[in-house]
Amino acid sequence: MHKKVAILGLGYVGLPLAVALAKKGHEVFGYDIHQRRIDELRRNYDRTLEVDEASLDKYPLHFLDTVKDMAVADIFIITVPTPIDDQNKPDITALQEASKTVGSLLKNTQGKIVIFESTVYPGLTENICGKIIEENSGLVSGKDFFLAYAPERMNPGDKKHHLKNITKVVAAQTEKVAKEIAQLYGQLNNHNVFIAKNIPTAEAAKVIENAQRDINIAFMNEVTMIFNEMDISIYDVLDAAQTKWNFLPFTPGLVGGHCIGVDPYYLAQCAKNLGYNPDVILAGRRINNNMSHFIVQEIKKKLKTSSEKTSSILILGVTFKENVPDMRNSKVQDLILLLKEAGHDIAIVDPLACPEKTKSCMNISLLKKIEGLKGKTYDAVVLAVSHDDFKAISITDLKGLLKENGQVFDIKGFWRKACLPEKGFNYWCL
């Protein structure tokens, strides 16, 4: 049976979901608070690069800039961001506002379903969002309308693990509603759906998924720092260690973005609310947040810079991960700001990042292509993000970007197995 579905939040999660549901014949209403986003989508342009122009043009989607037109929906799905504030505490403002909006649309209705996909800590959906909806609708949760939680598992830039081929976890206030939304999402992934015991269980499952990754990467970052003092590359160590059948394939790096770098703080807040101090979770966050400082110190040591001597440094990549344009919570940005504070002259090349964003956040003009450097050379080149576009840079090209005896800092181990020049070229990787 086809449904009328309203989706609040049209980012990396909401837009692909909207398109997938429209493909299955559901009437989909998409809303986003950013007018520019709505205007772009109406022109079949997705700046996140998750949905192509043909898909936006082919399937019937109603992109709305006012919320009132969503009132006809049977199901409301909330996919707004849940970031952290300057104190690393959960900022649920967008979630609260979306709940208010849905509450206002539910007045004088019965039996509608409100699904939350945003990352939260256990209890937040029912105890906070549900209460807000009740206050703004005059209805009773679990009786007049029904709450559900279906945590997103999107991985921006990952074309392998997508809606159609990943397991979807769902939970709801009643068994009947859980089965109904399992049927809805099951249409998108060949019914590969797991119904969790209840909403808090599904919330907890989501928040530990990224916290687990964060902790494992923190371990890799910590041993990287240890081995660096012994002049041992972590990548060489991993080549050996990964030959064991049960070794987990995590790698070191700058952990940012709006999931792995954020979700552990939601779990930590949940623990603190219970009077428990989450040692391991926050230790992982401290190590990963310190990684940009560690790399900057290595750059300073290798370049032998001081307050009297600074260098010109080219940064390759500024987004929070490879092959996405998203710069939110990018730890590369932290690295760049630390280098700028030390007085270094910074240039950035990133084929996907937004030039306006780079200018406003770091006061640096972004170039999209290496060719835009027009023969300039640098004391150092830092490979910070392994975009596919950078694979075209040969060692000859790389050397051409450097001054004599320039230094390459290969954070991602991109060129470590390449045939490197013996003279006039210095190379370092994690």
Which sequence positions are flagged as catalytic? 259
Edge-to-edge strands of the sheet including 425-429? 366-367, 345-349, 312-316, 378-383, 402-410, 425-429
Helix axes 93-105, 130-137, angle to 10 degrees: 40
Vertex 258: Cα angle to 254 and 261 (nearest 5): 45
Residue 191 has what DSSP assignment? T
Cα–Cα dist 58/2, whole Å:
18
Edge to edge, the sheet with strand 61-64 lists 61-64, 27-31, 4-8, 75-78, 112-116, 145-149, 168-172, 193-195
In one-letter notation, the amino acid at residue 299 is: I
Evaluate whether 7 touches 28 at the Cβ level (below 8 Å): yes
Handedness of CA 135, 139, 142, 146 (dihedral sign): negative
Place of tokens 């991985």: 155
DSSP one-letter string for 47-91: TTSSS-HHHHHHS-EEEESSSGGGGG-SEEEE-----B-TTS-B-
Residue 274 C-alpha from the chain's centroid:
28
Secondary element (H or E) of residue 306? none
CB 260 within 8 A of CB 285: no
Distances in Å between the Cα of 203 and the Cα atoms of 77, 165, 200, 268, 359 are: 15, 21, 5, 14, 37
Q: Is 7 helix (H, G, I), strand (E, B) or coil?
A: strand
Joined together, the tokens standing for residue 312 give: 């010109």
